């Protein structure tokens, strides 16, 4: 267990090395988050208005169709900026110095595939959601496992889209094949990165509560507001870093799986041992 945690930590450090070299990669998840929030508002506000009419509440067809459209638009935004991020990261791994426009150019060249993948992902999401609403507690657990399986199988779709001019279905097949052939199901690196950030978020929240308690004890409203603002800002920055690291990490995994070379920032031996197939 200690060795696995150590390898995961090494992967986080390697991904962080790429991110430190190009801190502007944080702009991609930032824009993605803002665009996703705009999409939520564009769909939420009209739906609140429609719910004022009783006949709409019982119209399941309209609800599901609207939900599907929301998923498509939301996934398209997320995948678009993920492709831009991974494209820029791959340029850095090749020794280049990527810019924001370089990443966007990569995403613009894959618009058709990104949209197709968004439609597929939205279909899977709506189907799983519909099943989850109709089953009991055990069924929800099974649906959750199916969702995790889908996420794992499609983890390398974005770097595949960046590296090759392929359609979404072919990219999904390649992603599942690469992951299964090279590392099997033991996705230690993803779990390690997730654990790292969960611990980080918990530390930030606990620290914020401690400072908040102190500010309240002092009776200073200014300090209370300052603590809250700083805590929220740090959590948002942490989320941006996690999203950027995840994209960089997926790019490194794909490059190692397809060619064995991830660039100077990554230790290929570490990557090989981080995902050992089950025996």
pLDDT attached to residue 30: 94
Please check whether residue 279 lies inside any domain of the structure: no
pLDDT attached to residue 116: 95
CA distance 245 to 106: 19
Token couple for 268: 């290929």
Please check whether residue 51 lies inside any domain of the structure: yes
The pLDDT tens digits along the chain (279 residues) read 565 556 566 666 777 788 888 888 999 999 999 999 999 888 876 666 555 444 445 556 667 777 788 889 999 999 999 999 999 988 888 878 888 999 999 999 999 999 999 999 999 988 888 787 777 777 778 888 888 888 888 888 999 999 888 899 999 998 888 876 655 444 666 777 788 888 999 999 999 999 999 888 888 888 889 999 999 999 999 999 999 988 988 888 788 777 656 666 666 665 555 444 444
Residue 245 and residue 12 in contact, taking contact as beta carbons nearer than 8 Å? yes
- pTM check: above 0.85: no
Distance in Å from the first CA to the final CA of the chain: 17
Please check whether residue 262 lies inside any domain of the structure: yes
Please check whether residue 193 lies inside any domain of the structure: yes
pLDDT attached to residue 228: 92
Token couple for 178: 């690469």
pLDDT attached to residue 155: 86
How many domains does the chain divide into? Answer: 1
CA distance 147 to 123: 12
pLDDT attached to residue 184: 47
Helix, strand, coil percentages, rounded to 5, for the chain:
85, 0, 15
Please check whether residue 165 lies inside any domain of the structure: yes
Domain that holds residue 124: 2-274
Residue 265 and residue 14 in contact, taking contact as beta carbons nearer than 8 Å? yes
pLDDT attached to residue 115: 95
């Amino acid at each position: 267990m200690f060795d696995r945690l150590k390898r995961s930590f090494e992967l986080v450090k390697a991904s962080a090395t790429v991110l430190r070299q190009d801190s502007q990669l944080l702009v991609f998840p930032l824009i993605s988050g803002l665009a996703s929030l705009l999409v939520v508002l564009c769909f939420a506000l009209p739906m609140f208005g429609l719910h004022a009419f009783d006949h709409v509440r019982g119209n399941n067809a309209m609800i599901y169709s609207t939900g599907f459209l929301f998923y498509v638009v939301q996934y398209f935004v997320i995948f678009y900026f993920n492709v831009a991020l991974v494209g820029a990261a791959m340029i850095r791994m090749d020794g280049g110095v990527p810019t924001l426009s370089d990443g966007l150019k990569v995403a613009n060249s894959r618009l058709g595939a990104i949209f197709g993948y968004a439609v597929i992902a939205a279909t899977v999401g709506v189907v799983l959601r519909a099943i989850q609403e109709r089953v009991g507690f055990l069924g929800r657990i099974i649906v959750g496992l199916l969702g995790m399986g889908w996420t794992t199988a499609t983890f390398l779709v974005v770097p595949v889209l960046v590296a090759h001019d392929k359609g979404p279905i072919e990219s999904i097949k390649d992603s599942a094949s690469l992951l299964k052939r090279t590392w099997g199901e033991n996705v230690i690196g993803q779990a390690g990165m997730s654990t790292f950030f969960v611990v980080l978020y918990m530390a930030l929240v606990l620290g914020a509560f401690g400072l908040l308690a102190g500010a309240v004890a002092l009776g200073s409203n200014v300090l209370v507001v300052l603590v809250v603002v700083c805590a929220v800002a740090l959590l948002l920055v942490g989320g941006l870093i996690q999203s950027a690291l995840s994209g960089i990490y997926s790019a490194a995994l794909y490059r190692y799986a397809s060619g064995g070379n991830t660039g100077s920032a990554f230790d290929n031996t570490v990557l090989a041992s981080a995902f050992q197939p089950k025996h």
